[in-house]
Amino acid sequence: MKMLTPTPEAVAEAAMAIRNGDLVVMPTETVYGLAADALNAEAIARLYAAKGRPTENPLIVHVGSTDQLALVASEVPALALRLAERFWPGPLTLVVPKHPDLPSQVTGGLDTVAVRMPDHGVALALIALSGTPIAAPSANRYMQLSPTRIDHIDPQIAEVAVVGLDGGPCSVGVESTVLDLTCDPPRLLRPGGVSRGDLQAALGAPLAGAPGNGPKRSPGMASRHYAPASSLVIVVRLQPNQVGLCLHESAGKHQFRMPSDPAAYAANLYGALHALDGTAPTLFVEAPPEGAEWEAVWDRLRRASTAQ
Ligand code: TXA
Ligand code: MG
């Protein structure tokens, strides 16, 4: 992988790679993505192989405008437009009926497609210059931690990606919220960068999918996911000899003190786990508060701590 500062020339080079059917590591506001031309079935096959991801786990398609939705969706529900207007560009992925011309590999054979418009200038420039919607899962190997900085990229991914654009640390730090609009009421499939509360306020009604219950029908949402190599255990309070993440005064030298604000905590979570991963057989994490605004953080911690 040629690692590049995202100058206009570098983004043009990455866009050329996308048009050639190659893979590019792309920064977004949530996590780094492994990007490929969503309309090129061979590029999509290469993408699944690079991640070691089962081909029935559908990908998220990234668009550069609301107009581009019509290229990947067979029908754009009025609600999708309303939510796009309110939350795009941003960390909200909408599941809508799939366009017949979109290769079925992208959606793992489903008749729906997950779409979002990322809130990152480099990603938007790359989509615009490539002239095609971009499929991008998180740029990690299957079941491993998502990257929130370019130096988190796994060597096996770096080997197959042609270009990596260094957009600095991701500001949101956890993946997008996935919302299924093919059912009524819409169902929250994955908590993420946009909170359940913000969605409910925009919709004026509660969502299906109870908090903490996990996704009901999002293929590829294995219960163990986002997992570090060390095992992870959630505790009330860290002991001085334990390696991990705390919310209170840190007592040990291998303890990261995490922010008490949920958005700042999320922005730092994967970076802290990447830094500590492998330094001890078990990492300990102090339980964050239970409030609704902690839903995405709790979701990632629960998945990372599910026994193998
Ligand atoms: O923040 C993000 O969304 C990042 C950045 C790179 O944009 N991408 C990301 O992609 O997290 P990935 O592939 O790691 O996660 C895709 C999620 C999975 O949970 C998958 O089950 C769900 O989206 N998904 C994709 N297509 C779907 C569909 N048609 N129906 C239901 N869930 C879908
Ligand atoms: Mg992922």
9-18, 65-74, 144-153, 218-227: segment of lowest average pLDDT:
218-227
Rounded to the nearest whole angstrom, what is the distance from the C-alpha of residue 240 to the centroid of ligand 2?
32
CA of 168 to the centre of ligand 2 (A): 19
Q: What is the mean pLDDT of residues 69-88?
A: 96
Local confidence band at 228 (pLDDT 50, 70, 90 cut-offs): confident
From 23, 218, 225, 269, mutation site for ligand 1 pocket: most ligand atoms within 8 A of C-beta: 218
Confidence of residue 218 (pLDDT cuts 50, 70, 90): low
Could you tell me which residues come within 8 angstroms of residue 305 by beta carbon, excluding any fewer than 6 positions away?
A: 231, 232, 233, 234, 285
Interval between CA 138 and ligand 2 midpoint (Å): 4
Residue 119 in contact with residue 66, Cβ under 8 Å? no
Measured from the Cα of 91, ligand 1's closest atom is 1
139 Cβ closer than 6 Å to some ligand 1 atom: no
Decide if pLDDT at 303 tops 60. yes
The ligand minimizing its distance to the Cα of 93 is 1
Indicate whether residue 64 lines ligand 1 (CB < 6 A).
Answer: no
Asked which of 38-42, 200-204, 237-241, 304-308 is least confident by mean pLDDT, the reply is 304-308
Task: Using DSSP, state whether 124 is helix, strand or coil.
Answer: helix
The closest ligand to the CA of 190 turns out to be: 1
Decide: residue 33, CB within 10 A, 0-12 exposed, 13-18 middle, 19+ buried. buried
What pLDDT was estimated at residue 204? 93
For the chain, what is the largest distance between any 2 Cα atoms, rounded to a whole number of angstroms? 57
**223 or 142: which leads in pLDDT:** 142
The per-residue pLDDT of the chain, averaged, comes to: 93
| pLDDT digits 0-9 by tens, 137-194 | 999 999 899 999 999 999 999 999 999 999 999 999 999 999 999 999 999 999 999 9
Tell me the C-alpha distance between 98 and 288, whole Å: 38
Query: Which ligand sits nearest to residue 108's alpha carbon?
Result: 1
Question: How far apart are alpha carbons 169 and 272 in whole angstroms?
Answer: 12
The number of the ligand 1 atom at minimal distance from the alpha carbon of 220 is 21
d(CA 269, CA 263): 10
Give the distance (Å) from ligand 2 centre to CA of residue 220: 9
| Ligand 1 atom nearest to CA at 176 | 1
Dig out the tokens for 230 from the structure: 């060390």
Q: Give the pair of three-digit tokens for residue 194.
A: 């946009």
Please state the φ and ψ torsions of residue 9, each to the nearest 5 degrees. -65, -40
